[in-house]
Structure 1
Amino acid sequence: MKTTAKILNGLLILFLLVSCEKDELESTDPNLLNSANSEASENFNNGMIKSYSSDVVIQWNELLSQSIDNRLPQPAEVKIYVMVTLAMHDALNNVVPKYETYALDNSEVDASDITKKNIHTIADAAVSKAARDMMAQVFPPSTATADALLNSILSNIEDSDLKTRGIAIGQEATAAILQKRSGDFPLAFAGYPLYTEPGEYRSDFMPWAMANPPVWPANAVYAPNLGSLTPFGIESGDQFRDQAPFPLNSADYIKDYNEVKMLGCTSCPARTEEQTEIGAFYIENTSSFNNRVARALIVQKKLDGWEAARLIGLIEMSQMDSYIASFDGKYHFNLWRPITAVRLGDSDGIDETTGDASWTPTFTTPPTPEYPSTHSYNGGAAAAVFRAYFNTDHCDLDLISPYNLPGTTRHLSSFSQMARDNALSRIYIGYHFRNAIVVGERQGGELGKYVFENNLREIKKLK
């Protein structure tokens, strides 16, 4: 009997313990349960997203690159890049919300029926439709090739409700961005006042200054209003504008003047072979160059589709905003280019700046004021985004020049090195004084950091 009683008592105690545990579990704070469920859902979504490769994102990026690289004025090219890449990013993040979007809200997206087995169906359709529709809108000459790639990708996806939903998401992503940017004005050549004081930009000294309607009028500059365009990731065009260029009678300006005069002309004997190569290597448009770097890193680091779209979106956002910010500074300070400064060096009122009326830069100088250097601004911004994204300044890339130095390879060991060489190139081709590249690279770095920290962030970090 005693043994039986002990067993019964033990069972009773066990029953009570289990009952208590059950009661405690059932009475758990709903917020804690929701938090646990949310974490489990987030982990599931992360695993599912990781299963989606970057292949289709890269296919569209490569087609975009083939369509526009170095065929347009630099600001016009990067405007196309940022519109298309953000459309792909927003489309993916309306399939499964992982990051903030640029235009198409994803706060109410229900991704409960998306799995590892079907994520490619809806995501491939969404990315492809978004990219195709945006390319057709912002660069109509690319429509035929974009249609061909879209049809090829969609033909390999079995018809289903998810495929249809993906196509609709792609359309919505493009429409939302176009609506958000509906107030944008076109970027074009425009007539410019003919300034005559030493240090002021002189459009009549620029090789582009000839009248050639309707592309550009006499004494033209490019996009003098670009600094007032609504940015993509920063607050305003003048957000990072700070110091003015050196006064012409300062020792700093005189030093910069003599440096570019000695290193930036077509036949400057003081320029080394290495400097000549750097100048030509980085002459291409920064949006296409940094896009190519991003694509190489996506493959090297094996980024998934969501990560790839976000990286390229941030890079091109930083590139477009760098044009806006640097052009704000250019037309605010209105400093003359080296080609004007050197040719008028004997009439600038400064004894230490000996002029040379035949001095010619290595490449044709762009038709915009000098300070700050846009190229340096863009390089600094891209380096800052890459550093923040990968949480390191180190990289290990071999880049091949596809344009001015076909087949020439330069090795990059850090993003800072890339930004610095990119900036120095503008001295070696006679486009800029050193102060313009130093300030441009610094301000660009500040801009890139701001873009990364305030745009397309991982959603869980916002809670």
Structure 2
Amino acid sequence: MKTTFKILGVLLLLVSMGSCEKDDMESLDPNLSNSADIKGVPNFNNGMINSYSNEVVLQWNEFLSQTIDDQMPLPAESKIYAMVTLAMHDALNNVVPKYETYALDNSGVDASDITKKNIHAIADAAVSQAARDMIAQLVSGATAAADARLNEVLASIEDSDLKTRGISIGKAATAAILAKRADDFPLRFVTYTGGTAPGVYRANYQPFINLAYAPNMGELTPFGIRSSDQFRDEAPYPLNSSEYVADYKEVKSLGCDACPLRTEEQTEIGAFWIESNASSMNRLARTLIEERKLDGWEAARLIGLVEMAVIDAYIASFEGKAFYKFWRPVTAIRAGDSDGVDATVGDENWTSSFFTPPTAEFPSTHAYAGGAAAAVFKSFFRSDHVNLDVISPYSLPGVERHLSSFSQMAYETAISRIYIGYHFRHSVVVGERQGRELGEYVFDNNLRELKKVL
């Protein structure tokens, strides 16, 4: 089963066709120039929070990546990313309340004794304890390494009441999130056969014969949106429609193993973006945090919002998959001569470039999550523009792709699923659009800056 997990872990991701915006990229929080008091913190914009570096936040974020990337099915990975990064965010915002929290209430926090001189002691302890505790709870076999990393951080902090308070805050942040997610069910492979009618998803392709992964994931309580069906608004094309026939022919000619019509660029895009969304978007966030010198509070908020959007994109897309139960291209093309549509010429030996994930087809989860993450990045930085070379170490090591916009990232993530034979075009277009709407909603309604108290 571990082999199967790692196969799936290298498999299921996202997509998009976004629009470019013309925005400037100056101050992230323009209202911070207003001097005011928050929860006992004199002169909120006195530079105290800005003086806290992103170092420990990024260290734990990278530790998480090294611990779970490419080790499990992508939905499970995305949920762990969300819970660990939100624990760090909540811990910081119970040291000094700057942003709304996910689970641990910070309305009564008194931070009047926090200064530029001591903020690192309490904040580093809080972040580290929260990350360690959540990783130990969620990742089997990771406790010893997480303990060693925690001890290293705590040993660098002089013993004090603030250090002790930081440890208590970190423990409370993890406990609050675990309590909030106490009703979550495990994500796992289940026996699944599916239907037999044309167009209906069926688990009849190698190596996942009669198996599906977490077909009930859409029933999980979302992290930042109202409901898993909040953005569901469009169905797959009917099999007898000209649109479906066009999508069928496209993926048949571009998504097969060693397709002669697929260009080198298309082949590269397909393999490059096959990696987990939670992992690739986490790495992109870390790069931007370092490049734009975000402080620790901004860093934790950005990563928390991105991973919240990704996990909700998984939940929402899986709700759509369960609702429509549309078949994958590998099944559709092999059954093309018996689907009742004369224009879809079948090929019983057709195979996709990689093992098709054991989930229904519509909408594309990869496209959904790519669109959601791009929307968060665009909203956070108030611009679509970016100038970065990015890598995909687990999928296509040694290859770089240049990004000039977050929309380009979302588009490539989405379109890649056609080039590896996982999805029809309609699935990735709808998935990216719904993901963009989800990402905008997550940003607008979660982890917002607290209002100043005048």
After TM superposition, the score normalised by the length of structure 1 is 0.89
Relative to structure 1, is the Cα distance of residues 453 and 46 closer, same or farther in structure 2, using a 3 angstrom cutoff?
A: farther
1:44 is displaced (CA, Å) by 3.7
Equivalent residue in structure 2 for 1:429, among 420, 425, 439: 420
Partner of 2:37, secondary structure, is helix
**Is the contact between residue 392 and residue 399 of structure 2 (CA under 8 Å) also seen in structure 1?**
yes
Q: For residue 192 of structure 2, what is the aligned residue in structure 1?
A: 192
Q: For residue 256 of structure 1, what is the aligned residue in structure 2?
A: 247
Q: For residue 225 of structure 1, what is the aligned residue in structure 2?
A: 216
Q: How many residues align?
A: 420
Q: Aligned partners of 2:129, 2:420: CA distance in 1, in Å?
A: 41
**Is the contact between residue 92 and residue 306 of structure 1 (CA under 8 Å) also seen in structure 2?**
yes
Q: Which moved more, 1:38-47 or 1:185-194?
A: 38-47
Relative to structure 1, is the Cα distance of residues 456 and 273 closer, same or farther in structure 2, using a 3 angstrom cutoff?
A: same
Q: Aligned partners of 1:350, 1:176: CA distance in 2, in Å?
A: 54
Partner of 1:207, secondary structure, is coil
After superposition, the C-alpha distances for 1:226-259 in whole angstroms (9 at most, x for unaligned) are: 1010000001111100111100000000000000
Identity of aligned residues (%): 68
Q: Verify: 1:297 aligned to 2:285, yes or no.
A: no
1:267 is displaced (CA, Å) by 1.6
1:46 is displaced (CA, Å) by 5.3
**Is the contact between residue 53 and residue 295 of structure 2 (CA under 8 Å) also seen in structure 1?**
yes
Where in structure 2 are the equivalents of 1:63-74 lying within 5 Å? 63-74=63-74
**Is the contact between residue 45 and residue 96 of structure 1 (CA under 8 Å) also seen in structure 2?**
no
Unpaired runs of 5+ in structure 2? 1-33
Q: Aligned partners of 1:404, 1:451: CA distance in 2, in Å?
A: 28
Partner of 1:221, secondary structure, is strand
Q: Aligned partners of 1:240, 1:433: CA distance in 2, in Å?
A: 19
RMSD over aligned Cα atoms: 1.5
Larger radius of gyration: 1
Q: Aligned partners of 1:129, 1:209: CA distance in 2, in Å?
A: 39
Q: For residue 202 of structure 1, what is the aligned residue in structure 2?
A: 202
Q: Aligned partners of 1:352, 1:44: CA distance in 2, in Å?
A: 66
After TM superposition, the score normalised by the length of structure 2 is 0.90
Query: Structure 1 runs of 4+ off > 6 angstroms?
Result: none
After superposition, the C-alpha distances for 1:363-398 in whole angstroms (9 at most, x for unaligned) are: 000000100000000000000000000000001111
Q: Verify: 1:177 aligned to 2:168, yes or no.
A: no
Q: Aligned partners of 2:328, 2:46: CA distance in 1, in Å?
A: 51
Q: Aligned partners of 1:355, 1:424: CA distance in 2, in Å?
A: 23
Equivalent residue in structure 1 for 2:410, among 416, 419, 431: 419
Equivalent residue in structure 1 for 2:445, among 436, 446, 454: 454
After superposition, the C-alpha distances for 1:408-431 in whole angstroms (9 at most, x for unaligned) are: 000111000000000000000000
Q: Which gives a bigger RCO, structure 1 or 2 (Cα 8 Å, sep 6+)?
A: 2
Relative to structure 1, is the Cα distance of residues 441 and 462 closer, same or farther in structure 2, using a 3 angstrom cutoff?
A: farther
Where in structure 2 are the equivalents of 1:57-456 lying within 5 Å? 57-204=57-204, 206-210=205-209, 219-456=210-447
Q: Aligned partners of 1:170, 1:278: CA distance in 2, in Å?
A: 40
Partner of 1:398, secondary structure, is strand
Partner of 1:258, secondary structure, is helix
**Is the contact between residue 257 and residue 352 of structure 2 (CA under 8 Å) also seen in structure 1?**
yes
1:140 is displaced (CA, Å) by 2.8
**Is the contact between residue 240 and residue 341 of structure 2 (CA under 8 Å) also seen in structure 1?**
yes
AA of the residue aligned to 1:408: V
1:460 is displaced (CA, Å) by 1.4
Q: Which moved more, 1:394-403 or 1:420-429?
A: 394-403
1:209 is displaced (CA, Å) by 3.0
Partner of 2:386, secondary structure, is strand
Q: Aligned partners of 2:116, 2:452: CA distance in 1, in Å?
A: 24
1:323 is displaced (CA, Å) by 0.5
User: Which of the pair is proportionally richer in helix?
Assistant: 1
**Is the contact between residue 247 and residue 426 of structure 2 (CA under 8 Å) also seen in structure 1?**
yes
1:119 is displaced (CA, Å) by 0.2
AA of the residue aligned to 2:116: K
Partner of 2:105, secondary structure, is coil
AA of the residue aligned to 1:99: Y
Q: Aligned partners of 1:338, 1:315: CA distance in 2, in Å?
A: 30
Partner of 1:100, secondary structure, is coil
Q: Aligned partners of 2:396, 2:311: CA distance in 1, in Å?
A: 26
AA of the residue aligned to 1:284: E
Q: Which moved more, 1:41-50 or 1:278-287?
A: 41-50
Q: Which moved more, 1:394-403 or 1:92-101?
A: 394-403
Q: Aligned partners of 1:403, 1:348: CA distance in 2, in Å?
A: 37
Q: Aligned partners of 1:390, 1:441: CA distance in 2, in Å?
A: 20
**Is the contact between residue 379 and residue 444 of structure 1 (CA under 8 Å) also seen in structure 2?**
yes
Relative to structure 1, is the Cα distance of residues 176 and 375 closer, same or farther in structure 2, using a 3 angstrom cutoff?
A: same
Q: For residue 12 of structure 2, what is the aligned residue in structure 1?
A: none
**Is the contact between residue 372 and residue 439 of structure 2 (CA under 8 Å) also seen in structure 1?**
yes
Q: For residue 6 of structure 1, what is the aligned residue in structure 2?
A: none
Q: Aligned partners of 1:332, 1:404: CA distance in 2, in Å?
A: 30
Q: Aligned partners of 1:42, 1:407: CA distance in 2, in Å?
A: 50
Unpaired runs of 5+ in structure 1? 1-34, 211-218
